[in-house]
Amino acid sequence: MPRQKNVGARPTLPASAYVALVPAEGLSSALASFAVWSNSLEARRSLMRDSAFPLADDLPAFLILNQLVYRGAARPTDLAEALEITTSHVSKIIARLEDAALVLRAPDPNDNRAVIVGLTDSGRSAGLRIVECGRSLFDRIFADWPDGERAEFTRLIVKFAHSIDAASAQSLSRVSGYSWSPTHPGEISTPPGLTAAATADLDQPSNA
């Protein structure tokens, strides 16, 4: 027999439920805040707008192109893993990017049965605008930081990335497309048959 509900009773939360388990101003809360903000729809839409992304209302297309900006040409399966979506969904998004002449599919030099996806010249121009917007944001963030503090922060955050990768069985490298292993720190994982020079000019200012 179903338990009868007490219609007149209203649940009351204990006082402890209103207190965050992780205090503010600490490492955990700061990292959680950064992750939530950087992945928020607000932040992504703002970057799409500021970089004049050609497919203005297509956030999935922006995320795929952004992956190619930071990892270079990639297999659709790798993009699907990074964005936690299905390969069939990635294929549909890539088709929209192809229609906009931003990416191109080509045979994988390591496996003739597979394909890789890379940026076209128009896609690289869009990508460079995204990179420039990111640089502008960092310039504003670090505007009142002494050069020494900024350099030390850079050193520590890179060291932190290596430590995350080691502690997560290289998960950071797999998802980001960069190799954060001790052997090749910070190196972009570029498929054989392609050259790292294809992504080198991302470090140069954009005139786009």
Q: How many angstroms separate the CA atoms of 181 and 185, rounded? A: 5
Token duo for residue 61 = 């297309």
Q: What is the pLDDT of residue 24?
A: 82
Angle at 17 between CA 3 and CA 5, to 5 degrees: 15
Q: What is the pLDDT of residue 181?
A: 79
Q: What is the pLDDT of residue 206?
A: 36
Token duo for residue 129 = 């605008």
Dihedral sign (CA 122, 124, 126, 129): negative
Domain layout of the chain by residue ranges: 29-203
CATH topology of domain 29-203: Arc Repressor Mutant, subunit A (1.10.10)
The end-to-end CA distance of the chain, in Å, is 71
Nearest CA to 184 among 152, 162, 208?
162
Beta bridge partners of 198: none
Low-confidence ranges of the chain (pLDDT < 50): 185-186, 188-208
Compute CA distances 21 → 14, 26, 165, 200, whole Å: 14, 12, 26, 43
Q: What is the pLDDT of residue 203?
A: 38
Angle at 182 between CA 178 and CA 185, to 5 degrees: 40
- CB under 8 Å to 138, separation ≥6 — which residues? none
Q: What is the pLDDT of residue 6?
A: 59
CB 42 within 8 A of CB 48: no
Q: What is the pLDDT of residue 111?
A: 87
Give the pLDDT confidence of 44-88 residue by residue, as tens digits.
Answer: 999 999 999 999 999 999 999 999 998 999 999 999 999 999 999
CB 131 within 8 A of CB 202: yes
Q: What is the pLDDT of residue 196?
A: 37
Compute CA distances 189 → 5, 26, 39, 75, 102, whole Å: 59, 33, 23, 12, 21
Specify the DSSP element, H or E, that contains 116: strand 111-119
